[in-house]
Amino acid sequence: MAPNSIHWFRKGLRLHDNPALREAVQGAATVRCVYFLDPWFAGSSNVGVNRWRFLLQCLEDLDANLRKVNSRLFVIRGQPANVFPRLFKEWKISRLTFEYDSEPFGKERDAAIKKLAMEAGVEVIVKISHTLYDLDKIIELNGGQPPLTYKRFQTLISRLDPPEMPVETLSDTLMGSGITPISEDHGEKYGVPSLEELGFDTEGLPSAVWPGGETEALTRIERHLERKAWVANFERPRMNANSLLASPTGLSPYLRFGCLSCRLFYFKLTDLYRKVKKNSSPPLSLYGQLLWREFFYTAATNNPRFDKMEGNPICVRIPWDKNPEALAKWAEAKTGFPWIDAIMTQLRQEGWIHHLARHAVACFLSRGDLWISWEEGMKVFEELLLDADWSVNAGSWMWLSCSSFFQQFFHCYCPVGFGRRTDPNGDFIRRYLPILRGFPAKFIYDPWNAPESVQTAAKCIIGVHYPKPMVHHAEASRLNIERMKQIYQQLSRYRGLGMRQVTCMLNVKTFPPLACITRRKEIDEKVVGSEKASHLCFTGKISVHCPAHRKREQSTSQLAEANL
């Protein structure tokens, strides 16, 4: 009996290179592609209007492309666990397919759905296509732990077989005799909602700088490759003022939502390289963008607390400051540092910023100036940044805040100098902060230093029309470098006050792995209530956090009283 299939879209919002979708249509009698939307979250969720719009555009595009093969997208309001049982019955489903989701909560959700499906007698087929490799294989190759340095990661994947080739796009031929039963009221029941229907006020909303969808993605990749071929030697293009602006060849949001297959991108890059360089082995650096993404997915897949500091075995516990006012100024582009504010404005308006711009604002928020937790920054990016998914966003924030991955902390991005060196004329600032347009290049990065006459001529008095700088950068960086040194000093087990023992700034990476520590004497002493220090194991093995210690976070007043 030919099965009735459901293909469940989550990421992987595309018809090209979609092996799970292919499985759905293979010999099927009926095929329905579903996407679950929980609109109740639209208002309260930490997802901004640009991300919602991008997603809706992806869904519209999917629907349009499915129509070309006589099918449609079914957008279903509600949660999968609640709705699937009904759908299985109503549509007499016997096969469910979806693309593998490597993130911990995705795995949990999918395990639950698999169970439901099994109970309903539904065959479940899962295929890997959101990542280049099977991440579990990388972890296995590394002795059961994900690599914590990018170099190690590169070494491991060079030992694996190359990624699988992209599979063919869904077509009439592939559909075969399978059909999609579509009702008269499909639009009402299962149509893609609009932003307004989700509760957004779209009046005055500028058009999307990054339009969502597979069609757009495929156009972009061709443009991207054309441009790459122009760049001789495939060298990384030098950073200039133009790089800061959204590019029509940018691909990161499309990779995140799965409008563009990473495997397709990989193979197209390889083909182009071989053609241009007449050389059969491209260097790993060619795939930089894809491999970083892969690296963070691998690091996160078995760590449900990857996005937290507490209880995260790979994250250093840093005594970040809780400061909602300061955080708000950063998030709302009111820091008084034009470079930072322009970047945050671009982020909020368009949903994308250059990766060096990300470094600048992440450093400013955390270890550079404000000393605010990277988790807060991560949440703001989650809301505003189109390509920020859970693994990559959390991983990058930990990296940029020197909370993990052995990142050296000496390098601090100056909120004045870094911008000035990138875009000396300040055009980026003028574009996103029109209030500062009148300032000459000399003062546009530090307008508070401009003499009154200049400020008056620019029709912008600092402190009145544009905020004063919220920190004194030299003082803040002095303090924070000292804080980071203290923390890394603690990690090196030296607990005294002496300075000669830890004179060096460059943090020494050779900490002994936890397994070698047999005497508990060397375990950090922590005061009442706090967990044992998360030990960073610098040979790449993550120390397993002792579960017994979680239990011990009981009230210690009982103990204190008992001892009186």
Binding to another protein in span 359-378, by CB under 8 A: 359, 371, 373
| Smallest separation (angstroms) from another protein to the CB of 111 | 28
Question: Is 271 labelled a binding residue?
Answer: no
150 vs 200, which CB is nearer to another protein? Answer: 150
In angstroms, give the least distance from the CB of 54 to another protein.
Answer: 16
Residue closer to another protein (CB basis): 154 or 302: 154
The nearest distance, CB 364 to another protein, in angstroms, is: 14
CA dist., res. 25 & res. 20, Å (int): 9
Kindly tell me which residue out of 67, 86, 227, 495 binds another protein, with binding defined by CB under 8 A: 495
When asked if residue 319 is in the footprint of another protein (CB under 8 A), the reply is yes
Scanning 9-17, 198-206, 228-236, 241-249 for contacts with another protein by CB under 8 A, the matching segment is: 228-236
Chain position carrying tokens 């937290």: 308
Confirm or deny that 203 is annotated as ligand binding: no
Q: Is there binding between residue 108 and another protein (CB under 8 A)? A: no
The answer to whether the annotation marks 387 as part of a ligand binding site is: yes
Query: Could you say whether residue 227 binds another protein (CB under 8 A)?
Result: no
- Rounded Cα gap, residues 530 and 519, in angstroms: 20
Nearer to another protein, 1 or 497 (CB): 497
Per-residue string for binding with another protein, 20-59, x by CB under 8 A?
----------------------------------------
290 is in an annotated binding site: yes
296: CB partners within 8 A, 6+ apart? 391, 392, 394, 395, 396
Check residue 306 for interaction with another protein (CB under 8 A): no
Contact call for residue 159 and another protein (CB under 8 A) = no
Quick check: 407 binds another protein (CB under 8 A)? yes
Please report whether residue 527 would count as binding another protein according to CB under 8 A. yes
Query: Judged by CB, which is closer to another protein: 20, or 372?
Result: 372
Asked if residues 61 and 20 have their Cβ atoms less than 8 Å apart, the reply is: no
3-state secondary structure 233-254: HHCCCCCCHHHHCCCCCCCHHH
Would the annotation count 184 as a binding residue? no
Closest approach, Cβ 307 to another protein, in A, equals 14
Q: Does 516 bind another protein (CB under 8 A)?
A: no
Rg (CA), the chain: 26
Adjacent-strand bridge partners of 99:
127
Name which of 124 and 481 has its Cβ closer to another protein.
Answer: 481
Handedness of CA 79, 82, 86, 88 (dihedral sign): positive
Stretch that binds another protein, among 56-64, 400-408, 430-438, 535-543 (CB under 8 A): 400-408
Q: Is the dihedral of CA 274, 278, 281, 284 positive or negative?
A: negative
Among 161, 172, 235, 452, binds another protein (CB under 8 A): 235
Q: Which residues contact 206 (CB under 8 A, 6 or more apart)?
A: 349
Which residue from 159, 278, 521, 551 is in contact with another protein, where contact means CB under 8 A? 521
Residue 455 identity (one-letter amino acid): Q
User: What is the size of the binding site for another protein (CB under 8 A)?
Assistant: 89
CA atoms of 541 and 404, how far apart (whole Å)? 13
- Is residue 136 a known part of a binding site? no
**CA distances in angstroms from 264 to 55, 173, 192, 216, 432, listed in the order given:** 21, 21, 27, 15, 35
Distance CA 178, CA 364 (A): 55
Distance CA 276, CA 162 (A): 21
- Considering only residues 458-477, where is the footprint of another protein by CB under 8 A? 472-475, 477
Contact with another protein (CB under 8 A): which of 92, 189, 275, 411? 411
CB atoms within 10 A of CB 546: 11
Is residue 313 within 8 A of residue 115, CB to CB? The reply is: no
Q: Select the residue interacting with another protein from 532, 539, 540, 541 (CB under 8 A).
A: 532
The pattern of x and - marking residues 267 through 296 that bind another protein according to CB under 8 A reads ----------------x-x--xx--xx-xx
Phi/psi at 525 (5° precision): -85, 130
Out of 497, 516, 518, 551, point to the residue binding another protein (CB under 8 A).
497
Say how far apart CA 219 and CA 104 lie, in whole Å.
32
Supply φ then ψ for residue 201, to 5 degrees.
-90, 110
Binders of another protein among 412-431, rule CB under 8 A?
412-414, 417-418, 421
User: Is 145 assigned to a binding site?
Assistant: no
Determine which residue in the list 9, 399, 443, 466 makes contact with another protein, applying CB under 8 A.
399
CA atoms within 13 A on the CB side of 4: 11
Residue 5 near another protein by CB under 8 A: no
Distance CA 54, CA 211 (A): 6
Q: How far apart are CA 122 and CA 85, in angstroms?
A: 10
Residue span binding another protein (CB under 8 A) among the ranges 8-16, 29-37, 72-80, 500-508 = 500-508
Question: Least CB distance from residue 520 to another protein, whole Å?
Answer: 5
Cα 477 from Cα 486, distance rounded (Å)? 14
Q: Which of 378, 412, 539, 418 is nearest to 483 (CA)?
A: 412
Tokens at 148, concatenated? 């914590």
Closer residue to another protein in complex, CB, 158/207: 158
Residue numbering of the annotated binding site: 289-296, 387-389
Residue numbering of the annotated binding site for FAD: 289-296, 387-389
